[in-house]
Structure 1
Amino acid sequence: MPGDAGNMAGRFVADRYRGVLIAVIVATAAKFLSEHYGAPAMLMALLLGIAFNFLSEGGACQLGIEFSARTILRIGVALLGVRISIETMIGLGPALILTVIAGVVLTILFGILAARVLGRSARFGVMTGGAVAICGASAAMAIAAILPKSETSERDLTFTVLGVTILSTLAMITYPILTATFDFDARAAGVFLGGTIHDVAQVVGAGYSISEETGDVATLVKLIRVAMLAPVVLVISLIMQRRVAAGEGAKRPPLLPLFVIGFLALGAANSMGLIPGSVTTVLSTGSQWALLTAIAAVGMKTSLKTMFDIGGQAIALIVGETLFIILIILTGVHLAT
């Protein structure tokens, strides 16, 4: 019935618009701080969101905050696909492409193993390893979206986003100095920066602080890591399906989540030149705003008090994963040059 459908849609919007609106306001404040004071936008959105944690504990904003942290998050990840172009990646050469891919895969495997050694769950290792290996906060949120939920899910995600954002900011400042210490040329420096720094924005900042050529190579390498998001999420989904089939869960997850299909479709369309440059810019900006809004909502769902329960093992894990991917990329750059 059209009338019933309209009423349901109206109720859906009425129940959620307040929470979405407050998440957008927090994201806007974070963007303002980023543009005027140089602070990482993701970090600001997360911290500001945590300050409004009381809004997620019931009341008119709760459903909207949940919607922002889940659905808007997935929209933002799907729109990341417009940054991917196969043609631009081929120019890097097979050896360095394989090095970057190996860095992603091995870092995630290292994260799982190290998490077990440190007494953390394999799921936590997958999320932190994926965040370090692929694209920081965006990857952490995408992976968290398909992992089974637990009472510590929001806390673990918040810690991961916080950790990779802080480490990325430190890397943006210190890694260019390391490239000079290692006497890298522009191409090797770009591969190192793009292959090791977690978040895209910090990769761009670090690369172009050295030279235009270094910035171009660093951005290209980073996009290869971003492109690994879809296959990684697919593999995790397959593993989750097998565990559910073996009786470890109650609800069977989709083989390929819809947001990953959107990511792949946009990446393929962009690679074939089907998306005009102006549209690519709009969609990329939309992705940034969606992810900022989502991480603000994730912050609202996180109690600062619970963050102190995360433990030193978690900090050691994410730092260890960061050092591990540095080792992999340095080895690859040495062998390829």
Structure 2
Amino acid sequence: MSNLSQLDYMQQIGLHQKIRELTPGFTVSLVAAAAASFLSEHYGAPVMLFALLLGMGLNFLAVEGKCKAGIEFTAKTVMRVGIALLGMRITLGQITALGWQPVALVIILIIVTISVSIFVAKWIGFQKLFGMLTGGATAICGASAALAISVALPNHPNKEKATLFTVIGVSALSTLAMIVYPMIAHWLALSPKEAGIFLGATIHDVAQVVGAGYSMSAETGNTATVVKLMRVAMLLPVIVCAATITRMQGVSSDGKRPPLLPWFAVGFLILACVNSSGWVPVMVQGGINELSRWCLIISISALGMKTQLKELATVGIKPILLMIGESVFLVLLVLTIMHWLF
């Protein structure tokens, strides 16, 4: 056997061993994600929230044993794949169709909300990065943004607990917003287009935006969805900012300097550009979006397995008030900007 053949043979053995090592943890994360999806469909609560809670109930699997390596892999690598695939939800045509005002609205609300969140987090005694995490989740796209920003931020002993808390908080607030915000739109007598802009700019998660928008009218739902996708598109520059902060803090735990633009952010950008070309069949686009959704659900169930519920109970009232305050601030900010731009 030649040296090249021996090398290929050894690599194949190593790959098979790696797959066997990761399979148990990935499988249990997949089962938890499937259960979460079933519960979400039947009870109407956010699937991310169910995935987190089910994962926390299985946290003993991540401590030791055969599942540990697979859970670690799922919580990190599978999450990054899901984030990259989010790019398939966006096209430049969707963004330009509504004109410059919604684009300006989204850019302003992202910058202002995250900036204020960082300032308030520091003021009440937390790290600025926690404010960036919660502010980004509130301003961009809820749980997906929290996961993406967390991946790009520097490692910290409380990073996973902060991420889980943010996902739980933003999921709960998004569900509440889906019910309350259409009432606010009715009360303010907003037109269908204005209501769509308001809902798309303020509700955290995509699913809740769709539910709230189409509960009012088809025009409101279409407008809300496009505005929401504009917010999702802003995930890329925010990830770059988070990666820049991480890079400025030096090398990572493995001794390597983090890249300025993480590979999952590059994937996000490439898929957004490909999707904007109009060459992607609807069936393929839908399949990739569904794959992205499942990657995020599976990875967040694994993330839940890595954290005990009692650890989240120690966060206190301040982070809860911070996230509620961010949501209220976002509503007031959007209404104020809409008053001046529309």
TM-score, length-scaled by structure 1: 0.97
Q: Distance in 2 between matches of 1:217 and 1:8?
A: 50
Q: Distance in 2 between matches of 1:234 and 1:249?
A: 21
Structure 1 unaligned segments of length 5 or more: list them. Answer: none
Q: Would you say the 8 A contact 2:154–2:245 is kept in 1?
A: no
Q: Would you say the 8 A contact 2:209–2:225 is kept in 1?
A: yes
Match of 1:273, as an amino acid? G
What is the deviation of 1:287?
0.4
* SS of the residue 1:252 aligns to: coil
Match of 2:315, as an amino acid? I
Residue from 277, 283, 291 that aligns with 2:282: 277
* SS of the residue 2:250 aligns to: helix
State whether structure 2 residue 256 is matched by structure 1 residue 254: no
TM-score, length-scaled by structure 2: 0.96
Partner of 2:310: 305
Residue from 246, 249, 258 that aligns with 1:240: 246
Q: Distance in 1 between matches of 2:159 and 2:242?
A: 16
Q: Would you say the 8 A contact 2:33–2:298 is kept in 1?
A: yes
Partner of 1:195: 201
What is the deviation of 1:274?
2.6
Residue from 85, 88, 92 that aligns with 2:91: 85
* SS of the residue 1:206 aligns to: helix
Partner of 2:338: 333
Match of 1:58, as an amino acid? E
Match of 2:58, as an amino acid? F
Partner of 2:3: none
Q: How many aligned positions are there?
A: 336
Q: Which runs of 4+ in 1 moved over 4 A?
A: 247-251
Q: Distance in 2 between matches of 1:96 and 1:147?
A: 28
Partner of 1:42: 48
What is the aligned-residue identity percentage?
46
User: Closer, same or farther in 2 for the Cα pair 1:73/1:248, shift >3 Å?
Assistant: closer
Structure 2 unaligned segments of length 5 or more: list them. Answer: 1-6
What is the deviation of 1:249?
11
Residue from 63, 70, 74 that aligns with 2:76: 70
Residue from 300, 320, 329 that aligns with 1:315: 320
Partner of 2:16: 10
Residue from 20, 25, 43 that aligns with 1:19: 25
What is the deviation of 1:252?
1.9
Match of 1:240, as an amino acid? T
Partner of 2:174: 168
What is the deviation of 1:240?
2.2
Q: Within 5 Å, give how 1:218-237 maps onto structure 2.
A: 218-237=224-243
Residue from 262, 269, 275 that aligns with 1:264: 269
What is the deviation of 1:311?
1.6
Q: Distance in 1 between matches of 2:257 and 2:122?
A: 25
User: Closer, same or farther in 2 for the Cα pair 1:249/1:278, shift >3 Å?
Assistant: closer
Question: Over the residues paired in the alignment, what is the CA RMSD in angstroms?
Answer: 1.5
* SS of the residue 1:330 aligns to: helix
User: Closer, same or farther in 2 for the Cα pair 1:102/1:303, shift >3 Å?
Assistant: same
Q: Distance in 2 between matches of 1:315 and 1:44?
A: 19
Q: Would you say the 8 A contact 1:49–1:299 is kept in 2?
A: yes
Q: Distance in 2 between matches of 1:235 and 1:161?
A: 20
* SS of the residue 1:244 aligns to: coil
